[in-house]
């Protein structure tokens, strides 16, 4: 093997190991595996903490304690998040009591899991939150419901603190970076998360005919600068596609 070929093989080896080795966050290792039906494997050392949505835990190995508590932000905000967004009233906080513990968590939809490195405020679609690390807590963001056009599933949670937030999406998750004054329009069920610098507005799209027959009556108009995460599939449209195939209730 000549020197050039050897150098290329070595670079391939380095790249392969870079992309398959677990990532490191705040001295905690993690790996997102099995996308597009993904889960997150954490390797936790003593006193490492992971907060996860109730029911997200898949497995634990080693000495890990579990503390079940209500969401952050006070009782009223917790109740508001729970009742209006369909979120669980509780989250679980997992704490390692020794080194080299392992924790696996997953979301509740069929699709990708992605990680958002949070060093500024982010707004996250309530149903997309899976888990978080660092000093991240979640607060509710009450915006647009008084207009009556959001629909029942677009309730937003706001991040407080820094760390990593793990989100899941129906289908794949795509990331778009918008420059100042750049804009895009999303179906309101496609939104996963956006950075706090983004301006967004939920509004009706198209004519009355579009509203009735087009299936995209409500959209989110998003304007940069900032980052947007969206899901490639729409759970509501999937449910609509399945509806004619489901057994109909018989009444006698």
What confidence score (pLDDT) does residue 11 get? 40
What range does the domain containing 69 cover? 27-245
Question: Helix, strand, coil: what percent of the chain each, to 5?
Answer: 20, 45, 35
In a domain? residue 232:
yes
- Whether 88 contacts 54, CB under 8 Å: yes
Structure tokens at 125: 């679609």
| pLDDT digit string (tens) for the chain, length 252 residues | 555 444 444 343 333 333 334 565 556 899 999 888 889 999 999 999 999 998 899 999 999 999 998 766 444 444 444 444 445 568 899 999 999 999 999 998 889 999 999 999 998 887 899 999 999 988 765 443 333 334 555 677 888 899 999 999 999 999 999 999 999 998 878 889 999 999 988 777 665 444 444 454 678 899 999 999 999 988 777 777 777 888 876 655
In a domain? residue 135:
yes
How far is residue 76 from each of residues 89, 114, 147, 190, measured CA to CA in Å?
11, 30, 21, 28
How far is residue 98 from each of residues 22, 31, 61, measured CA to CA in Å?
19, 20, 11
- Residue 39: asked if its preceding bond is cis (omega within 30°), the reply is no
**CA–CA gap between residue 141 and residue 146 (Å, rounded):** 13
What confidence score (pLDDT) does residue 236 get? 72
In a domain? residue 19:
no
How far is residue 52 from each of residues 82, 107, 151, 167, measured CA to CA in Å?
15, 10, 26, 11
What confidence score (pLDDT) does residue 197 get? 94
What confidence score (pLDDT) does residue 8 get? 43
**CA–CA gap between residue 85 and residue 154 (Å, rounded):** 7
- Whether 194 contacts 228, CB under 8 Å: yes
What confidence score (pLDDT) does residue 237 get? 72
Nearest to 32 by CA among 96, 112, 102, 101: 112
- For the entire predicted model, the pTM comes to 0.77
Total number of domains in the chain? 1
Residue by residue, DSSP assigns 152-179 as TT--EEEEESSEEEEEE-SB-EEEEEEP
Strand order through the sheet with 90-96: 64-70, 90-96, 49-53, 129-132, 163-168, 113-118
Q: What is the dihedral of CA 81, 82, 86, 92, to 10 degrees?
A: 100
What confidence score (pLDDT) does residue 4 get? 47
Where residue 50 sits, what CATH number does that domain have? 3.60.160.10
In a domain? residue 172:
yes
In a domain? residue 12:
no
What confidence score (pLDDT) does residue 206 get? 62
């Amino acid at each position: 093997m000549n020197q050039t070929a050897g150098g290329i093989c070595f670079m391939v080896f380095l790249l392969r190991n870079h992309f398959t080795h677990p990532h490191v966050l705040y001295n905690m290792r993690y790996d997102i595996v099995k996308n597009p039906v993904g889960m997150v494997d954490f390797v936790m050392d003593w006193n490492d903490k992971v907060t996860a949505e109730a029911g997200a835990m898949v497995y634990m190995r080693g000495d890990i304690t579990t503390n079940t508590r209500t969401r952050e932000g006070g009782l009223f905000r917790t109740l508001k998040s729970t009742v209006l967004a369909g979120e669980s009233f509780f989250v679980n906080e997992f704490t390692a009591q020794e080194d080299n513990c392992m924790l696996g968590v997953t979301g509740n939809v069929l699709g990708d899991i992605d990680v958002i490195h949070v060093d500024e405020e982010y707004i996250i679609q309530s149903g997309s939150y899976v888990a978080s690390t660092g000093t991240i807590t979640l607060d509710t963001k009450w915006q647009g419901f008084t207009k009556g056009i959001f629909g029942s599933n677009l309730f937003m949670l706001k991040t407080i603190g820094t760390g990593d937030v793990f989100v899941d999406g129906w289908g794949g998750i795509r990331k778009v970076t918008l420059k100042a004054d750049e804009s895009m329009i999303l179906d309101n069920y496609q939104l996963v998360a956006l950075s706090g610098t983004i301006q967004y507005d939920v509004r009706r799209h198209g004519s009355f005919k579009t509203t009735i027959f087009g299936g995209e009556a409500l959209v989110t108009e998003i304007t940069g600068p900032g980052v947007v995460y969206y899901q490639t599939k729409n759970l509501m449209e999937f449910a609509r596609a399945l509806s004619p195939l489901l057994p109909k209730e018989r009444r006698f």
